[in-house]
Structure 1
Amino acid sequence: MSDLLRAPAEIKYADELAWLESVDTGTKPFTWRLSPKMIRTFVLGSQPGDQLDRKVDQKWFGDAAIVERAIVTLASDRGLLLIGDPGTGKSWLAELLSAAVCRNSTLVVQGTAGTTEDHIKYSWNVSMVIAQGQSRESMIPSPIMTAMEAGAIGRFEELTRATSDVQDALISILSEKYISVPELDENGTVFARPGFSVIATANSRDRGVNDLSSALKRRFNFVRIPVVTNRRSEAEIVRFRTEELLRRHQITLDVPPTLLDVLLQSFADLREASAAAGSDDERLESALSSAEQIGVLEDAILHSNFFGRQTLTADALASSLVGSLARRDEDTPILNKYLHGVVAPRTENAGENSGEWTQFLQGGQAALKALA
C-alpha cells in the first residue's frame, strides 16, 4: 500500500476482507465473496451482538437502511443507482460494496460529455486488427464487459454526465445481460455471468444535464444518499477521514475537539443560511457536504503542518473555509455576511470557546480581504 497514492478498498482492507470471508457462515448469492449480512458489517462496522472475535471499524457513515437496500438491489436483476448531492459518499459506498462483493472496485467508467459507447462496451486494438484481423484477442473490453464476463460489479460514475446515446447503451446490458459483437462471426456475444451488476452514481445537482430516460430508470433501483446533518455522525466522518490523512502524511499534528466543533458549527450555520436564502445568488454554490468539511480541515492541517506553527489554529481553519467555499464572486459577500452577522456576535457569547471564534473571525476576515 505504501507504493500506492490511493489504494482501492479491496487492497486497503484486504486483511479484514479475508478474515471476514473465513468466518462467514451466511448464504452468499451467486459468486459473492461475502454474505449480505457480512457485507453490511464490513461497511457499517461490527456490533457487540455480531459475536465476532475481531472488531470491524465503520467505513461509511449513514443510515443502515440505505446500505441494506443497496445490498439487496445488487442481489436482484436490477442495477443500483446511488443519487445525492456532491460529497455525500456515493462513490465511497459504491467502492466498498464492490470490494466486499467481488474484491474488485476498479471496473469503473467515468461519465463525462466525452464518454462514448466504446467505454461501456468494447473497442479494438488497431495494430492487432491490421495485423491479424478482428478477433477476441484484438478486442479491448470495457470495464463493464469485463465485469460481465467475471460475474463482478461494474461501476458507472456520474451517469447523468454521459450523453443519452451512452445511457441508452446501458439499457440492453441491464435488461438482456449480454453485449453483441457483430464484428465477430464466432463467439460474437458476451454473456454476463451470475453475480454481475452495475452500481451507478448520479449527482442530484446535475438534474437537467442529461436526464435519464424512463426505460433506463426502470432498470435501476434508486437509493438516495442524504447530506449528513447529524452532528455526531458528521464528527465521526470528519474524524475518520482526518485520521487517515494524518497517517498517510505521517503527521502528528493534533486536532483539538473545540476546533472540530467550530468547523461543524460553521457548516451548520451556512446550511441554515442557505436553506433560508431566497435565490441561488444568496446561497453558496457549495453543497456544504461532509466531504467539503473534510477538504477544509485537510487544507488547514496541511497548511499548519508545512507553513504554520505545527498546531492547528482557528484562524487557519477559517482561512481554509473561505478558500474552499468562495468559488464565485457571489460567494464572497455571503461569507462576509456570515462572519459579521453570525460569527462576530458569537465571539462575545460563546463562553469558553469565545477565543476560538475570535481567531476564526480574524482568520476569515483576513482571507476575504486577500480575495478583494
Structure 2
Amino acid sequence: MSDTPLRAPAEVKYAEELDWLESVDDAPKPFSWRLSPKMVRLFILGSERADGLDREIPQKWFGDRSFVERSIVTLASDRGLLLIGDPGTGKSWLAELLAAAICRNSTLVVQGTAGTTEDQITYSWNVAQVIAQGQSRDALIPSPIMTAMERGVIGRFEELTRATSDVQDALISILSEKYVSIPELDGDSGEATVFAQPGFSIIATANSRDRGVNDLSSALKRRFNFVRVPVVTNKRTEAEIVRFRTAELLRRHRIEVEVPPTLLDILLQSFADLRAVSANAASDDERLESALSTAEQIGVLEDAVLHSQFFGEKELGAHTLAGSLVGSLARRSPEDLAILNKFWHGVIEPRSEGEQGGPWRDFLDGGREAIATLS
C-alpha cells in the first residue's frame, strides 16, 4: 500500500521549498513563526526577479497582493482572520497556505456545520478513561483549536457561518481571553486552564452566500479582521488559476496533460456567459443552482480530462468538455436542464456558426447530447 496521501497538505507538498525559504530567511519573525512576513507572502504569491533569490518560487494563490498582505499582518497581531467571499474564490486554499508557511501545520481544522458542537472547538473526554481513572488532563481530548493554542500555532475554522450561535459564542472567549477553562478539573492543580501560547491565532472562512444561516454576532465580528476575497473577473488570471489547479489535481492520477488554449477559452467564455445569464435572470428559477465559481470550472475541466483519458481518445476535445460542463452544472431536474438547453440554443449555437466555429460546433453537439441524455 502506498504511503502517499490522496491529498497532501501544503506543508508536506511544498516541504522542500519551505525548508529552503527558511534557510535563507534572515528577516525578523513574529512570535514563533517559521518564516518572516515577507517570506510568507513570497511563498504564496511567488517570487519576482527583484526578490534576488537563487531559485524561482512558483505562485500558488492568484489574487491581489493586498489581500495576502493584510491577512499576514492580521495574523501577526492578536486578532483572528476571517476570509469571506463567494464559493470557489480560494479562501480555504489561502488559509491553508498561510498556516503552512507560518507554522508548518495547516491540519488543525474544525469544519463548521449545523452539527458542529462546542467541544469540537474546546475539548471532550475519553469516556472509558474517565470511568476507569476519573477526570484528568490525560483523559482530556483537546480540539484542534485547543491544540493550536497549546502549541502557539494557527488553528483553522472552515465555514464559520454554518456553525450554530453556541459554537460561535465559544470562540469569543478564545479570541478575547486567549484561554480555555476546564471546570471539571481542580483549579488548584494548575491544569484547569489552557493558555494560548505566543503565535496562536485563528483563520476562519465564511461563504458570503450563507448570510442568514447563522449570522455572526457583533461581539464575534469585533474579534476578527475581515478580508473579503472577491470573485476573479480577470480572464487571464482565471485561466491561470484553472490551469494551475487542474494540473495539480491531475498529478494525483499521474496525468500530465496540456489543455489546448482554444478549449480553455471555450470553458472560460461559457462560464462568463452563464454568469451573465444568471445576473440578468428575473427569479431564482431562471438561475442555475451552481455558483459558477472558478472552483467549479476546475472541476469541469478535471472531469473532462479524466473522461478523455479513461474512455476517450486521450486528447481532450470540445465534445467531451461540453458533456462534463452539462453533467456538472445540471443539478436540478428539470429546472437546470431547461436553463442549459435555452443557453445552448441562444448562446452556444450562434457561436458555433461561421468560419471560426470549429471547436464551438463540437462543443454545441456535445452539450446537446448531454442535455438529451439527462432529460
Q: TM-score, normalised by structure 1?
A: 0.97
- 2:110–2:121 CA contact under 8 A, matched in 1: yes
1:336 aligns with 2:336: no
Contact 1:82 1:201 in 2 (8 A): yes
Q: In percent, how many aligned pairs have the same letter?
A: 76
**2:373 & 2:348 partners in 1: Cα distance?**
19
- The answer on whether the counterparts of 2:348 and 2:364 sit within 8 Å (CA) in structure 1 is yes
- In structure 1, what is the Cα distance between the partners aligned to 2:256 and 2:213? 44
Aligned length: 370
Letter matched to residue 342 of structure 1:
V
* Distance (Å, rounded) in 1 between the aligned partners of 2:149 and 2:48: 34
2:33 counterpart SS class: coil
The question of whether the paired residues in 2 share the 8 Å contact of 1:253 and 1:305 is answered with no
Q: Aligned equivalents of 2:192 and 2:85: distance in 1?
A: 38
2:311 maps to 1:307: yes
Q: 1:93 matched to which residue of 2?
A: 94
The residue that corresponds to 2:138 in the other structure is 137
Deviation at 1:183, TM superposition (A): 0.9
Q: What does residue 346 of structure 1 align with?
A: 351
> 1:253, 1:310 within 8 Å by CA — same for their partners in 2?
no
Question: What is the 5 A alignment of 1:208-357?
Answer: 208-329=212-333, 330-349=335-354, 351-352=355-356, 354-357=357-360
Q: Distance in 2 between matches of 1:242 and 1:183?
A: 49
Query: After the TM superposition, which parts of structure 1 deviate over 3 Å for at least 4 consecutive aligned residues?
Result: none
Contact 2:103 2:154 in 1 (8 A): yes
CA apart distance, 1:252: 4.1
In structure 2, what is the Cα distance between the partners aligned to 1:178 and 1:247? 42
Q: What are structure 2's unaligned runs of at least 5 residues?
A: none
Deviation at 1:26, TM superposition (A): 1.4
Find the aligned partners of 1:316 and 1:243 in 2 and give their Cα distance: 18
1:1-372 to structure 2, matched below 5 A, reads 3-185=4-186, 186=189, 187-329=191-333, 330-349=335-354, 351-352=355-356, 354-372=357-375
Q: Is the CA contact 1:144–1:154 (under 8 Å) kept in the aligned structure 2?
A: yes
Instruction: Mark the runs of 5 or more structure 1 residues left unpaired by the alignment.
Output: none
Structure 1 distance, partners of 2:370, 2:210, is 30
Considering only aligned residues, what root-mean-square deviation do their CA atoms show, in Å? Answer: 1.1
SS in 1 for 2:8: coil
Give per-residue Cα distances to partners, 1:170-217, cap 9 Å, x unaligned.
Answer: 000000000000111121000000100000011111111111111111
**Deviation of the 1:2 alpha carbon:** 5.8
- CA–CA distance in structure 2, aligned partners of residues 189 and 131 of structure 1: 23
Matched residues in 1 for 2:253 and 2:280: separation?
39
2:137 alignment partner, SS class: coil
CA contact (8 A) 1:123 1:139 kept: yes
TM-score, with length taken from structure 2: 0.97
